[in-house]
Chains A and B, each alone.
Chain A
């Protein structure tokens, strides 16, 4: 090799200089890319991906230069790459766990798309179950992404439950059809406390609002005493055919109830 006769100081110098050159090269490339983004409206995530990729590629080039300059033996390179490989695969365990968890959720079906669910502390309608994340549209109209792996470990309340038809069909074909009919009803519950006043009075006020919202939800909202502390807490039960109805009107419903008491 040409580099055979170079002294240790020389090798060190080459490694450092190549690092510096690559750094400057990276900067120039980024500068050019930014100009492209500005002028041609390149999507931001593509830009980001290119940025990450170039950095990765440059790091690889630098490692390659170092290996050549240091004139490492083949066995050493293989040894190092095995270590690097193990590190990489161990580091990607989390990613792969997310992937496996996604498949697991899709097969065991604790919930499916368009269900109103509560996962840990997050509540919302499931809009997508992807390989890495499950996305929930929450009550604020924002999309929460929950890593699939997290979902596997947390308790889930699925407010969407299939309606078990009480009337058994005589016809065999019809009964099979019923099995595949996924008519679901969403039954969402939340707790809210009224001030400590006369019980009859509380009931009257709550009933008037529930009456009002019967048409909006399609079912009459109901409530049950939940606990007593500095307020009398009720657990409210909202029922609707479409989870989005609840997502849209729950906050209004609670506003109306709060206004009744304050």
Chain B
């Protein structure tokens, strides 16, 4: 050090270092405590920021103290800075990865704004593809933020489709219910190039299929509800809801282990219609399929 001719022994340096670190740590702790006690106002954001600044200052002070007490030479510092740089670079990679994934999603377009998607256990309507997060509106109308990187990694199900795409596939036989959907959408293929071009740009042939599983406890009343009467009731229900949604709801039965599994597929031209009607549809389904139950308790 510049003010003494000979450098103090290592033990003294370590002692000095320990004391300095303890002081910095204690000072920061006291400041944070004071902040919590003194300001009773509910300015959470500002408080958090100040705390963060204190922590950062502590970190910088510790680094400076180390450099100063152990008389680290500039060359040593330089060689270390390369390592530190690499480390920070690796640290940043996570954050930058999200941004890159965001651009990728916008470019490749596995889904667009307004589409209904299912990613793992999350489902919802895409309202924004940001640089870091993609915003979804869930079935209970909560806002869900999914990291773009997760979307890139995960198995993705886009429930919003265009009939034009289906039509192309139906010609080679890769479709399930194109004819039915086409009749429900009253879809006509445009004649002439100009007409086709206009149709390509408009999204009038879009529709969303929302598929979910429910379980029917058919033995809840005695005698059990017969599956044939479930079919009758479901058919009547689907007819009622065709008026509401514009499309006929579909259903099929699955496994029967204790309860009868049933897959229900709701179709609508706007995904938001599905979000709005899903609850009411379930309530109606419950009341019609378990008709006996309603009579028993009323």
Contacts and interface: CB of A to CB of B under 8 A. Distances in A.
Contact of A225 (B91, B133, B283): B283
Interface stretch (A32-40, A148-156, A169-177, A208-216): A148-156
Interface residue SS majority, chain B = helix
B95 A155 contact: no
Contact of B140 (A49, A106, A158, A237): A237
Interface in B190-247: 212, 214-217, 220
Contact of B215 (A88, A152, A229): A229
Contacts of A200: 294, 298
Interface in A145-190: 149, 152-159, 161, 187, 189
B90 A155 contact: no
Interface stretch (A4-12, A15-23, A89-97, A254-262): A89-97
Given A85-B83, A96-B87, A96-B88, A158 B145 contact: yes
A202 B80 CA distance: 68
A114 B56 contact: no
B47 A113 contact: yes
A235 interface: yes
Contacts, number: 164
Contact of A108 (B59, B133, B217, B285): B133
Given A106-B52, A152-B147, A154-B147, A228 B216 contact: yes
Interface residues of A, number: 60
Interface string B283-298: 1011100100110111
A225 B44 CA distance: 36
Interface of B: 10, 14, 18, 21-22, 25-26, 42, 44-45, 47-49, 51-52, 55-56, 59, 79-80, 83-84, 86-88, 90-92, 94-95, 98, 122, 131-133, 138-147, 149-150, 212, 214-217, 220, 258-259, 278-280, 282-283, 285-287, 290, 293-294, 296-298
Interface of A: 46, 49-50, 53, 57, 61, 64, 82, 85-86, 88-90, 92-93, 96-97, 99-102, 104, 106, 108, 110, 112-114, 128-131, 149, 152-159, 161, 187, 189, 196-201, 224-230, 232, 235, 237
